[in-house]
């Protein structure tokens, strides 16, 4: 009986990790599509700094998508696992490293949106939500 419940818990853990990966991949995929649309439809009309910003954001979100897809790829390459803890550690690292380019992309998207309103201060103003979240995270205790 214990072996059966251990197996159920293991399957539940697999599913949780893979669902998180799926959610993050979907979110970043939508953001990628948004950036690609901007680059195709408005690319010629954008100032040079915004063209560069869109290009960096597209590269950044592509890296993020790749990192968020890696747990699923890793799952299919390594299945069945001999060491589930190793799988969890690796997929956790893939996701943590994926958050970095995702954050960069979100910042750049906000900067692009703000630059049409307040050209010179867009890079500074776009940092405010991220600094606020960081401060709230540090003060959470």
**Which range in 25-29, 36-40, 72-76 is most confidently predicted, on average pLDDT?**
25-29
Q: State the pLDDT at residue 80.
A: 73
Answer whether residue 3 shows pLDDT above 70.
Answer: no
Residue length of the chain: 141
Q: State the pLDDT at residue 133.
A: 93
Q: State the pLDDT at residue 90.
A: 85
Task: Identify the DSSP state of 140.
Answer: -
Domain total of the chain: 1
Give the range of the structural domain holding residue 84, as residue numbers without chain letter: 2-138
Task: Identify the DSSP state of 43.
Answer: G
DSSP one-letter string for 20-41: HHHHHHHHHHHHHHHHHHHHHH
How far apart are alpha carbons 112 and 126 in whole angstroms?
9
Residues whose CB is less than 8 angstroms from the CB of residue 90 and which lie 6 or more positions away in sequence, other chains included:
71, 74
Question: Which pTM was predicted?
Answer: 0.79
The string of pLDDT tens digits covering residues 69-128 is 988 888 778 777 777 778 788 888 998 999 999 999 999 999 988 988 887 889 899 999
């Amino acid at each position: 009986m214990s072996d059966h419940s251990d197996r159920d818990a293991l399957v539940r853990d697999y599913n949780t990790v893979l669902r998180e990966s799926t959610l993050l991949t979907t979110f970043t995929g939508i953001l990628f599509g948004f950036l690609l649309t901007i680059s195709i439809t408005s690319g010629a009309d954008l100032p040079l700094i915004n063209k560069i910003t869109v290009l960096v954001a597209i590269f950044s979100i592509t890296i993020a998508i790749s990192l968020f897809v890696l747990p699923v790829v890793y799952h299919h390459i390594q299945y069945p696992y001999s060491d589930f803890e190793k799988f969890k550690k690796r997929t956790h690292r893939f996701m943590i490293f994926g958050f970095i380019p995702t954050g960069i992309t979100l910042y750049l998207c906000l900067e692009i949106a703000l630059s049409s309103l307040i050209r010179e201060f867009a890079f500074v103003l776009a940092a405010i939500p991220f600094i606020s979240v960081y401060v709230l995270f540090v003060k959470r205790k």
